[in-house]
Chains A and B, each alone.
Chain A
Amino acid sequence: MSEDRGIWVYSENKELMLELLGKGSELASKLNTRLTAAVLGHDVKEQAKELVGYGAQKVVIVDNPQLREFQVEPYLSALTQLTQQHKPELFLIGSTRRGKELAARLAARLNVGCVPDCQELNVDDQGRLLAGRIVYGGNAIVTQVFRIKPQIVTIPRRRFEKSEYKETSKGEIIDAENIQVEPSKTQVVAVKPIEVAETKIEEARVVVGGGRGLDKKEDFKILDELAQILGGQVGYTRPLAEDRKWFTEWVGLSGHAISPELYIACGISGVIQHVAGIRDSKIIVAINKDPEAPIVEMADYIVIGDLYEIVPALSVALRKLLAST
């Protein structure tokens, strides 16, 4: 059995798998080690070849009809045995709800640590892996190191860039041997796909947020218009949902955390709980009457004024600009 002691990646989500390969490649070159992807399923040869194109130096396939659909125990047992056989020093797993459970239980079976939802992953000058994650409801970033190996971390979607696909990339594809797949302890009795009629707010490139500065629910139409021009979506703060009952969801600590290219906060004071959900936005714009509002301290561009005047004027200005380009 060949022991790799390198970096392994796995996610049942195909896009996320490519992002793991992107980050994995970077870490592998820093640590001067090899990058291996684990592929679990049935008839998955094609996927394995694709992963080589995306930077996997080696792909280990566990091909088994029992792995056709994702179920935790069968997948978990296969990954546990792969890890025991190949002894990677670092295992990156995709932070979906399925993946987080898988990673936690893989760590439990191997008696090792797991740092979930890593936002930062670096190597220090002693060659130690530094895993950073958000804690305390967005108020802090904790940096952790591992005392034992394998080190298991999970990584959320869209945190790291996927690598570029290269037709010419070379990599070894092998079939895993002697993997005993454990039966599932739970049974899926019904599945309902989630309607994705509207894109999720987490995926919007632009979000126009409205807060208590809006007097009536109907007034959101000026925000809707701005969002539409920008190809974005509208978001709300918690008081509009919880106190005024206008909406059922909100952006912030206890609601959706978003990281769009552009966030436009209209009539939002910027309490810490809201800011925790928008902190990772690339550019933050604040439109607010109050120059003392906390949001002013955490925005890139600030317009002090009445949102009922500024927002429609911004829509007009953007429409003109976009038409001329």
Chain B
Amino acid sequence: MVRIFVCVKQAVDVSQLKVDSATRRVITLDAPKKISDFDKNALEEAIRVKEKLGGEVFSVTVGPEDAKTTLREALAMGADKAFLISDPIFENSDTLATSYILAEAIKKIGPFDLILCGEASIDSFSAQVGPRLADRLGIPLITYARKLDLEGDAVTAERSLEDCSQTMRAKTPALITVTKEINEPRIPSLMAIMKASKKEIVLWKAADANIASEKVGESGSAVQVLDILAPKMERKKIVIKGETPTESAEKLAKALVQEGVIGR
């Protein structure tokens, strides 16, 4: 029986962010949240493996208590059980601290064949937690998988790098991060959503998973955020007007030559 853990993040829905135009500060506090897109691909892949080989899929998240909504969605997609590792002392944890929390929780949950993660989260897109987690657990890692096959104790995955595509193999237990090309995540049926409300979400505080308080939160983090600002958009906004399309086009062509962006 195959056992797969999927790490999911409750991420900020980046398409619904607002900016305070006076200060350029991005308002993240009440921004709507959702499962990070690539984590859904990871979940879908885990569920497909389970449907083929039998077994169970656990989804694990570190986040505030309202991340339960995210986990319900994972359960509706087909995860069997979910773990929410949540403690006020986790606030402002960076990837160093978050990967520590996940590693300790996973050690406590028990043995597994695979851990699947999205290649990165849609909000911070740092692609750090998956690789850090693999290293903490001392298991093989294959990043950016766009195809995956589990057979016995060997996992084979295809991935694209900048200059080539590779087929990689590793012995389980292993951690794989997946890209959006790997599959099309299912949309849960009403029936699946109803069934999910009966599935278990295990809630652990730091102490429940032997998590040391000095290694989490701001004091356990190596990186600190100074500012989150909307990028400046300083553009010239010169409107080119001509009597005819030809005249407009000629004026534009001249302007572009003057900018030095065309020709040699």
Looking at chain A's contact residues, the main secondary structure is mixed
Known: A98-B161, A206-B262, A317-B253. A185 touches B12 (CB 8 A): no
Give the docked Cα–Cα distance between A187 and B19 (Å).
Answer: 46
Number of interface residues of A (CB under 8 A): 80
Q: List B205-264 residues whose CB lies under 8 Å from chain A.
A: 221-231, 233, 235-241, 245-246, 248-250, 252-257, 259, 261-263
**How near does chain A come to B254, taking the closest CB pair, in angstroms?**
7
Q: List B77-120 residues whose CB lies under 8 Å from chain A.
A: 94-96, 99
User: Beta-carbon contacts of A143-156 to B below 8 Å, as 1s and 0s?
Assistant: 11111100000000
Give the docked Cα–Cα distance between A247 and B184 (Å).
Answer: 18
Q: Which residues of B have CB within 8 Å of A300?
A: 235-238, 259
Interchain pairs with CB closer than 8 A, number: 240
Indicate if A298 sits at the interface (CB-CB under 8 A). Answer: yes
Indicate if A299 sits at the interface (CB-CB under 8 A). Answer: yes
User: Beta-carbon contacts of B45-78 to A below 8 Å, as 1s and 0s?
Assistant: 0000000000000000000000000000000000
Since A139-B17, A139-B230 are in contact, a sample of 6 more A-B pairs with Cβ atoms closer than 8 Å, ordered by chain A residue number, is A112-B96, A116-B128, A137-B123, A187-B169, A300-B259, A317-B249
- Closest B residue by C-beta to A187: B169
Contact of B237 among A72, A302, A320, A322 (CB under 8 A): A302
Q: Which residues of A have CB within 8 Å of B140?
A: 185-186
Q: Are A104 and B131 in contact (CB under 8 A)?
A: yes
Chain A contact residues, CB within 8 Å of chain B: 13, 72, 96-98, 100-101, 104-105, 107-109, 111-117, 130, 133-148, 185-194, 206, 230, 253, 261-262, 272-273, 279, 282-285, 296-306, 309-310, 313-314, 316-318, 320-322, 325
Give the docked Cα–Cα distance between A55 and B210 (Å).
Answer: 48
Q: Are A206 and B170 in contact (CB under 8 A)?
A: no
Q: Are B226 and A261 in contact (CB under 8 A)?
A: no
Q: Are A136 and B226 in contact (CB under 8 A)?
A: no
Q: Are A314 and B170 in contact (CB under 8 A)?
A: no
Q: Are B252 and A314 in contact (CB under 8 A)?
A: yes
- Closest B residue by C-beta to A130: B226
Looking at chain B's contact residues, the main secondary structure is mixed
Give the docked Cα–Cα distance between A235 and B235 (Å).
Answer: 21
Known: A142-B227, A144-B225, A194-B160. A302 touches B240 (CB 8 A): yes
Give the docked Cα–Cα distance between A187 and B174 (Å).
Answer: 13
**How near does chain A come to B216, taking the closest CB pair, in angstroms?**
13
Q: What are 17 A-B residue pairs whose CB atoms fall within 8 Å in the complex?
A: A101-B127, A107-B132, A108-B132, A113-B221, A139-B26, A139-B230, A140-B17, A141-B229, A142-B124, A143-B227, A143-B228, A146-B222, A192-B165, A285-B256, A298-B233, A313-B246, A317-B249
Give the docked Cα–Cα distance between A316 and B244 (Å).
Answer: 14
Give the docked Cα–Cα distance between A154 and B205 (Å).
Answer: 33
Known: A97-B161, A137-B14. A189 touches B223 (CB 8 A): no
Chain B contact residues, CB within 8 Å of chain A: 12, 14-15, 17, 19, 26, 28, 94-96, 99, 122-128, 131-132, 134-136, 139-144, 156, 160-170, 221-231, 233, 235-241, 245-246, 248-250, 252-257, 259, 261-263
Q: Are A190 and B166 in contact (CB under 8 A)?
A: yes
**How near does chain B come to A216, taking the closest CB pair, in angstroms?**
20
Q: Are A96 and B162 in contact (CB under 8 A)?
A: yes
Give the docked Cα–Cα distance between A189 and B149 (Å).
Answer: 13
Q: Are A148 and B222 in contact (CB under 8 A)?
A: yes
Q: Are A310 and B238 in contact (CB under 8 A)?
A: no
- Closest B residue by C-beta to A309: B245
Contact of B236 among A101, A147, A301 (CB under 8 A): A301
Closest 3 CB pairs of A and B: A113-B222, A313-B249, A137-B14
Q: Are B249 and A140 in contact (CB under 8 A)?
A: no
Contact of A310 among B136, B248, B257 (CB under 8 A): B248
**How near does chain B come to A264, taking the closest CB pair, in angstroms?**
9
Q: Are A190 and B167 in contact (CB under 8 A)?
A: yes
Q: Which residues of B have CB within 8 Å of A261?
A: 261
Q: Which residues of B have CB within 8 Å of A297?
A: 233, 235, 237
